[in-house]
Amino acid sequence: MATEQQKFKEFEPQIRPWRSQLSSGHRPVQENWYATIKQTSMVRAWEEAIVDGMLQTADYARHIFLHYAELRNSPRDTDEAVLARIKRQEMLHQPGRKFHILMWEAVLHAQICPPAVLADQLDHLASVMDMDSLELGVVPFRAPLRIPAANSFLILDDRVAVTEDWHAELWLDDTDTIATYSKVWNTLQESAVYGAEARALILKAREALR
């Protein structure tokens, strides 16, 4: 019994409830992410709901923060949070880092923001996808899937996997868990398209907004 309790206590700090994380607003969380990514050389990300934070426009990010602040009744520090998130994107231009980002095609169509904001976001995706530091893949709706396209997450340098639920963010650093998330990412990647095919899906979503 004591052993199980000890295991739980060791795991507990890896669960970061949104209630406590957002007690001072979204800006501190974004600043923490800036510090984390600054210490990371390779990021693998899977997004099935929204555009990854490293690729968001300021207006798109603003709507994301507003929606979550309303949901979680947290302080509205939207402008500061947006600035902190956009500052993180400077690392896309720094040598020595690689961002491997996979998205479900649904991300390109989800109107979590006004259509004009989504259109600008899609234009931005098309403009950055050829950056040397970025490998952007899209899993099409019609692609055969070996596992469900669900549960967004990040893997940082194979040292930690980060995922979130409605109540908390989970930072998972045990070897078996990281191996599982890596296998999930690799499996989803098998269904992804890149380059011209990914750009075509982005432009198709952009055209649909007209």
| pTM higher than the cut 0.85 | yes
d(Cα 181, Cα 55) in Å, to the nearest integer? 22
Q: If you average pLDDT over residues 74-100, what whole number do you get?
A: 95
pLDDT digits (tens, 9 = 90+) for 147-172: 999 999 999 999 999 999 999 999 99
Query: Would the pLDDT of 7 be above 90?
Result: no
State yes or no: pLDDT of 3 exceeds 70: no
Domain boundaries, the chain: 2-208
Cα of 202 vs its chain's centroid, Å:
17
Angle between helices 115-128 and 195-208 (to 10 degrees): 160
Strands (E) located in the chain: 15-17, 42-47, 98-104, 134-139, 153-156, 160-164, 168-172
- What average pLDDT does this structure show over 125-129? 96
Q: Which CATH superfamily is domain 2-208 in?
A: Endonuclease Chain A (3.30.870.10)
Cβ neighbourhood burial of 182 (10 Å; 0-12, 13-18, 19+): middle
Reported as a single tens digit per residue, the pLDDT across 30-73 is 999 999 999 999 999 999 999 999 999 999 999 999 999 999 99
CA distance 109 to 99: 22
Residue 9: predicted pLDDT? 43
- Rounded to whole angstroms, how far apart are CA atoms 23 and 182? 32
Query: How far apart are the C-alpha atoms of 53 and 31, rounded to whole Å?
Result: 13
